[in-house]
Every structure is written in C-alpha cells, then in structure tokens.
Amino acid sequence: MTILLSFWPFRRALIGGSVDSRTSSPPDEDQDPPATSLRHYATPGVSPPSARVDPKLKLQPRRPVRLWDVWKYAVVVASKATEVSADIISHHIWGPRKGSWGIEMTIVSSLMRGAGRHSSLVDIGAIRMLMSIGGLVPLPSDALVTPVTFRVRQRNLRGILATHDAAETGSRELSGEWVVGKKTWQRLQAEWKASHLQNDSNMENSVEQPFRISKKKERVILYIHGGAYYLSSAAAQRLISIPLSKHTDARVFALDYRLAPETQFPGPLHDAVSAYLRLTEDLHIPPENIIISGDSAGGGLSVSLLMYLRDNNYPLPSGAILMSPWVDLTMSCESWDSNAMYDVVPFPTADSHMNPIALYLGEQTEKYLTHPYASPLFGDYKGLPPLLIQAGDAEVLRDEITLLAHKATLAGVQVRHELYEDAIHVFQAYPFLSSSRTSFMSMGDFVRNILPQCQTRSPQLLDYDAEQEMEHEIDNENATVVRGDGTEVTTGMEAVEESFGSTPFAESEGEDDNARVRNDYSSWGHSRNWSLSTTAPDNADTSDSDGSSDEALVPNQ
C-alpha cells in the first residue's frame, strides 16, 4: 500500500514503496508539472486543450430496446462471464493486474471494465432500483441510522442560488439520515442521561440555567454521497457513512440531494447549502464544529459548497474530508486513459443517454462546464478550510485530484493529500480492502489530532438546544439498527437500547487500533490490521524541509 501525504503540513510520506527524498519539499514552480498544468484551469469558461468533453454536449435520448435486441443481453452476459473467468485464471497464473490486488479486487475490476459500452441496454431507473436493494454487501457492524425529512425554506441565499431560493414556498422536502456508531451512541446516551438528571435537579432547586454536560467538543459531519450526480443515495452509501461515524466518533448527517436529470445544476448545490444552513441555523450547531465530507461527485459538490459559502460570506465549516472527489467535468487529465483498464468508473461517451455530464448540466453544458461550482478545479481556493483529500493510485480521477491538492496548497489552504497504491475510485466503499480500513483510520486521525491544530476557529461546546434538537431527531421510533451481520432491523428506542445495551462501552482513550479494526469489521473475518504510529518504516520519507517528521500510517508486521 502507498500513502502519499503531500504538501502542508505533511510534505511527502510513502508507505509500501519508495519516494525520492529530493521530493520531500515542493520543487520550484517553473519545474513543477502540476503548477504548469494548473494554468489550464485558471480561467473559468475556457476548457483545457486536453478536454475530452465538448462544451456543446447535448443529452441524447435512449434508443428503445426492441424485441429483437434481447439477444444482446445474452451476448453481454456471456462475454462478461468469459472476461471475468479469464481474469481469474490470469490472476492465479500470472498475478493480478496490480501487485497488491487480491482476487476480490480482480473480480470487481473485471466486472466493471468496459461497462459503459453497454449503457444502451439499461436505463437510469433500473440502475437506481438495483442500487436500492439492501443486503447485497454486508454493512459495517453496529450503528444507529435514523431517517429524517425536513422542509426547505427560503433563506435569502445570494449569488447563483438567489433565484432558486426565491422560488421556495416551504412545501418542498429533502431527506437524509443520521448515522451514529454504536460506541458514540452509547457515550452520548450516558452524557444525555446525566444531563437530564442534573437538569431535573436544577429545576427542583429553582436553577434557571439548564445544566450541560459534555466531555468533548462534539463534531458533526455533513456527508454528501457520490454517484455521478444521477445515482445512489444516503442509504446506499452506508458502507462509507457508518465507518466514517465510527472512526471519527462523530454524528454524521447523510444528505439525499436531488438527482439528475430530474434536477440539474445548480439544484444539488442548493440542496447541499440548505442542509448545511439547517445544521447551523435550525439545529444551532456551530460551523466550527461541522466537517463536510463527500465521495466522487459528492466530493466535488462538497468543494462547491465550501466555495459558495466563502463567496457569499457565510460561516465556513472547520474542514472537509474528500474521497476521490470529481472536480473536473471536462475530463481533461491523462489518468482517464492510463487507469481506464484498472478502475471501476466507465468512460462516459458523448452518445450515451447516461452521460453524467449531460445529465447534470442539461442544456446549460456550454455555460456551466467549467463553472467553479460545477468543476471546482477551475475555482479559487483562497480562504477554504483545511482539507483531507484521499485518492487511489489506479483511479481515473487520480490526476485531477492531485491538481486539486496542489492548487489548494498554492492558495494557502492546509492540505493533507493521501494517494493509496493500486486503489481504485472510492476504494473506501470496499471493506475487504486494507486500504479502506487505513483510510478511515486516517480520517479519525485528521479529525482528532490534525484539525484542532490548524482550523481557524476552535470547536465549541454544543449548547443545550443543539443537543436537544439532535437527540430528538436521532433517538425516535424511526431508528434503525445495523447489526454486525449486516442486517437492518427497524425498531423503536426500546429495542435499540436492548440491542446496544444501556451502559456505554468501556473504551479507554488509548484503545488499540488493531482491536478497533477487528470490532468495526468483525463480519468480514480476519484481515491485515493497521495502526497509527509516529515511526515510519525504513523506506518511508516523512521529513519536512525543516527536518521535522510527521505521523505516518504503517502496517503491523
């Protein structure tokens, strides 16, 4: 595995490979290929010379599937079965396409490779229905999930969203779900009960101010799912939102924003802004306690959200966690070609009725293709909060994500950029990968140890109203328990307490990370465990230009 931590405050560290020590500090800009490439992304409205998307792109209708086309389905199934079988045989005889891949990754890559060629045989509705079927993949163990629906009201939004905000009547609804890890829920329950007991005591003694008990300054994460802007949902991405909550010890609100083509740009951005302002204004959560997180298209939307908030003088969150963010809709980077044979993301062709860019931008493709809120790589990053950016070395978005990290760093943003060897797009969603587990551990480290050192404003103790609002939304009869075997049981709070236990899990601050990995992924069996260590392996270069070293993730021997 490789984890490349680039730029402030980590410079470079390589795990599982080698790095030239001469690259431990950023090279001169005149000789720096990323800085040179960034010149093509400096002017919104002007596509790079290498752009693969025509600004005049139009959404194509789907050609009807006729009775005599049925044979094509059989051909696709047969050819794909043959391809997968050949890859499995090749994996065992000559080894995997990528050195660190197991047989699971070989099969996943083989199944998805070239899938875009057959898009005419399916429609968006069928794919959405398939993705909504639960139980296909075991979920991480032990979490509480509570669905929430709220009305979108006018908030006097400015800029590009002013017209959309003015059209709101208060009748439109958005949904999402609160996700809370078992240990976090148990801890909060103990604190809430103690707070209520003390509050009752204060009332009996005529103390007007409610007593607030809090052992830590709570974080709340707004998670925005991926899916190329036209697929997936908060529920479908629990493979990410549940371990995100567990490893950061934070409550996660996963948003279901409106999807394309029913809602096109900037509609999803409007939903993301509405969800964020709901947390800060309606639930009274301080912005400095909030972290934005997203994967793929949700990662790009997360950056767009940060830029919109900054541009319109709204309070910014404390930081952001970006997993394989899609930030360049022109698809101009070289990794779209070099990693196509490894990644699970199909190349969207111009004549496809499911081209995500045409679905998302609609008739306004030429106007918005390089707009910073649609393609954040073309935006200005000055003033954004600290970013944790994770990407896979084998994904097609690798190069644009690297440019994102570089551009943000040059703009003065504090960036931690991690590049995982042989990992594919949104590898965090594959629990059988050791890189997935390591990435979530890194997120926890970022939230607990790194963010407090570099965020502009320190997180606050949540006031009584904020805690009460979240308790009301999370602990109710709609709560769902996701158990260790991946099953979901819709229950009321009485059954939740019976399932999770009424006493908090005894966990010391220095709990062994190996045990945490075993607990978090017990349903996946034994696998290689990783731990955080301040000592890097011999082949890791963790030195800063000033001679200091940074914390690195290393495998247990």
Q: Which one from 425, 439, 442, 467 is the annotated catalytic residue? A: 425
Nearest by Cα to 296 from 213, 205, 210, 360: 360
Cα atoms in the 13 Å half-sphere on the side-chain side of 240: 32
**Strand runs (DSSP E) across 204-309, as ranges?**
220-224, 251-256, 290-295
Give residue for tokens 């005149």.
30
**Per-residue DSSP letter, 279:** I
8 Å CB contact between 250 and 218: yes
Question: 425 an active-site residue?
Answer: yes
What are the C-alpha distances in Å from 89 to residues 85, 94, 97, 166, 424?
Answer: 6, 8, 12, 59, 21
Question: 296 an active-site residue?
Answer: yes
C-alpha span between 486 and 521 (Å, rounded): 10
Judge residue 29's burial from the number of C-beta atoms within 10 Å of its C-beta, 0-12 exposed, 13-18 middle, 19 or more buried: exposed
C-alpha span between 149 and 175 (Å, rounded): 4
Q: Which one from 296, 302, 332, 435 is the annotated catalytic residue? A: 296
Structure tokens at 90: 């090749």
Nearest by Cα to 227 from 236, 239, 217: 236
8 Å CB contact between 298 and 224: yes
C-alpha span between 290 and 469 (Å, rounded): 15
Exposure string of 57-73, with b = 16+ CB inside 10 Å and e = fewer, is bebeeeeeeeeeeeeee
Q: Which one from 191, 218, 288, 395 is the annotated catalytic residue? A: 395
Question: 118 an active-site residue?
Answer: no
8 Å CB contact between 424 and 344: yes
8 Å CB contact between 182 and 190: no
Structure tokens at 432: 């059988």
According to DSSP H, which parts of 249-340 are helical? Answer: 267-277, 297-311, 335-338
Instruction: Provide the annotated active-site residues.
Output: 296, 395, 425
